[in-house]
Amino acid sequence: MKHGVAILGATGSIGKSALDVIERHPERFRVVALTAHSSVAALMALCARFRPDFAVIADPAHERALRDGLAAARLPTQGLGGPAALATAATAPGADTVIAAIVGAAGLVPTLAAARAGRRILLANKEAIVCAGGLLMDAVGVGEAQLLPLDSEHSAIHQCLAGAVGARGGVRRLILTASGGPFRTRADLTDVTPEQACAHPNWVMGRKISVDSATLMNKGLEVIEANWLFGFAPSNIDVVVHPQSVVHSMVEFVDGSVLAQLGTPDMRTPVAYALGFPDRVASGSDTLDFLALGALTFEAPDRERFPCLGLAYDALRAGPAACIWLNAANEVAVDAFLARRLPFLGIAQVIEETLQQAPLQAPRSIDDVLQNDAMARRKAGALIVRSA
Ligand code: NDP
C-alpha cells in the first residue's frame, strides 16, 4: 500500500530533500498535500511535478495567485490559503504521513493537528517541540500518532536506541554532535555578516537554522528536543563538537559501550530512514568513503564564545515556559540579525535578557503557549529597538 505524504514547508531545504527521496520511490509514496508560506511560484512548480490533492499557501495575500495558477495549469490540486489551512493539509484525507518542515513556532499548530489526527509525523520543525514538547507528546499519545525525528542527530540516536523511543534502560547518556558552525575557529565575532553566518561548512540549510548553527543555539534547541523525544534529563544529554559532521550522534550505555551512527552530511539519509521506518529505503546520498575521510575529531563546545548553548540548557532546567521564551526570543533576534538590525553577538544578549522575564508557570494549553510566545516576541522586539 502506498503511503500518502503531506509536506508542511515543502518549498524549504528539508522539503526539497524529502521530495527528492519520495520521487525515488513512486511505488511507496504519493504526495497528498504541500504547503509554503509565500513562495507561490515554487509551490506551483511542485504542484505541477507531484500533482497533490491540496496545496496551501500560509500567507493569505498569495491565495488568489495560487488558486488562479492551479486553475490555469489545469492541475487536480485544490488551493487553500491562510495559516489555518496548514492544519487542513496536516490532516488531509489520504495522508498517513506528515513531514513537519516549517521553520519556527509557526509549525506548531499544524503539527499538533497531525498528532491529534493520529498521523505518522516526521519532525524537522524542532521549534514546535521546543515550544510545546509536553502538549505535542500528549497529543501523540492521545491520537495514537507516531513521532519520528528528521534532525540528523535525533535520527542517529533513534537508530542507536534501535527505534525504542522513550526507552532509557541501560543508557548512561546521549551525546549530540555539533559541527561547531562556520565560526568554530574565528576569534572575533563582532563584525559577522548574515552571509558569513549562513555559509555553513558542511550542510546547506535554510537561513534561520544556519544562523542557529553559527550561534550553537541549534544545538541548544536539539538538547531540548532530545529531552522530549527520548525522555532524558539535561544532565544525561551532552554536546561534543565534531567538525566533520560524519558521526551524527551517539548513545553511551552503562556498560561503557558507545553506539554511533555515521553517514555523509546529507539530510536525505535521515529523511529516508524516517520515511521507510522500519524498512530501509534508498536516499540517493553518497557512500561514506572511509579512506578519504582521514581523521574524525572531537572537541568541547566553547560555551563562552557561544553562550546560546548554555542558555538553552538553562531554559530546559527552568521549565516549559522558559523554553517558549528562549525560542521566541531567538526567532526574533535571528530575524533582526538577518535584516542587519542586530549584530551577531546581540542575538545571545537579547535571548538572555528576554529569558530573565520568563514566567515560571508551565503552559497548560496551546493558547497558553501562543500567549507566552507572543509576550516573549514583544519583549525581545523591544530590546532590539532599544539597542539600535
Ligand atoms: P527553510 O527556510 O529552507 O524552509 C522553511 C519552509 O517553511 C518553507 O517551505 C517556508 O515557505 C515555510 N514557512 C516559513 N515560514 C512559515 C510560516 N510562517 N508559515 C508557514 N510556512 C512557513 O527551512 P529549513 O528547511 O532549513 O528548516 C525547516 C525546519 O527543519 C526548521 O525547523 C529547521 O530547524 C529544521 N531542520 C532543518 C535542517 C536542514 O538541513 N535544513 C536539518 C534539521 C532540522 P516559503 O518558502 O514560502 O518561505
Handedness of CA 269, 271, 277, 283 (dihedral sign): negative
269 lines ligand 1 (CB under 6 A): no
173, with CB counted inside 10 A (0-12, 13-18, 19+), is middle
pLDDT of residue 265: 95
125 lines ligand 1 (CB under 6 A): yes
Q: For residue range 214-256, list pLDDT tens digits in order.
A: 999 999 999 999 999 999 999 999 999 999 999 999 999 999 9
Q: For residue range 98-133, list pLDDT tens digits in order.
A: 999 999 999 999 999 999 999 999 999 999 999 999
Residues 6+ apart with CB under 8 A from 361: 321
Confidence class for position 167, pLDDT limits 50, 70, 90: low
How many Å is the Cα radius of gyration of the chain?
20
103 C-alpha to center of ligand 1: Å? 4
102 lines ligand 1 (CB under 6 A): yes
Which ligand 1 atom minimizes the distance to the CA of 15?
25
Q: For residue range 32-84, list pLDDT tens digits in order.
A: 999 999 999 999 999 999 999 999 999 999 999 999 999 999 999 999 999 99
Q: For residue range 279-326, list pLDDT tens digits in order.
A: 999 999 999 999 999 899 999 999 999 999 999 999 999 999 999 999
Residues 6+ apart with CB under 8 A from 294: none
| Residue owning the nearest CA to atom 39 of ligand 1 | 205
Q: With 90 as the cut, is the pLDDT of residue 158 above it?
A: yes
* ∠ Cα 62 65 69 (to 5°): 140
Confidence class for position 200, pLDDT limits 50, 70, 90: confident
Share of the chain above pLDDT 70, in %: 98
Residue with cell 559577522: 192
Which ligand 1 atom minimizes the distance to the CA of 37?
47
pLDDT of residue 29: 98
On whether the CB atoms of residues 89 and 34 are closer than 8 A, the answer is: yes
- The length of the chain in residues reads 388
The one-letter code for the residue type at 257 is S
Mean pLDDT of all residues in 141-153: 98
pLDDT of residue 163: 55
Mean pLDDT of all residues in 182-210: 94
pLDDT of residue 388: 84
pLDDT of residue 1: 84
200 lines ligand 1 (CB under 6 A): no
39 lines ligand 1 (CB under 6 A): yes
On whether the CB atoms of residues 330 and 347 are closer than 8 A, the answer is: yes
Mean pLDDT of all residues in 8-15: 98
pLDDT of residue 217: 98
11 lines ligand 1 (CB under 6 A): yes
Out of 83-97, 130-144, 159-173, least confident range = 159-173
61 C-alpha to center of ligand 1: Å? 19
The overall average pLDDT reported for the chain is: 96
pLDDT of residue 254: 93
Q: Give kind and range of the element (H or E) at residue 60.
A: none
pLDDT of residue 157: 97
36 lines ligand 1 (CB under 6 A): yes
* ∠ Cα 292 296 297 (to 5°): 145
Mean pLDDT of all residues in 345-354: 98
Scored b (16 or more CB within 10 A) or e, 351-374 reads: bbebbeebeeeebeebebbbebbe
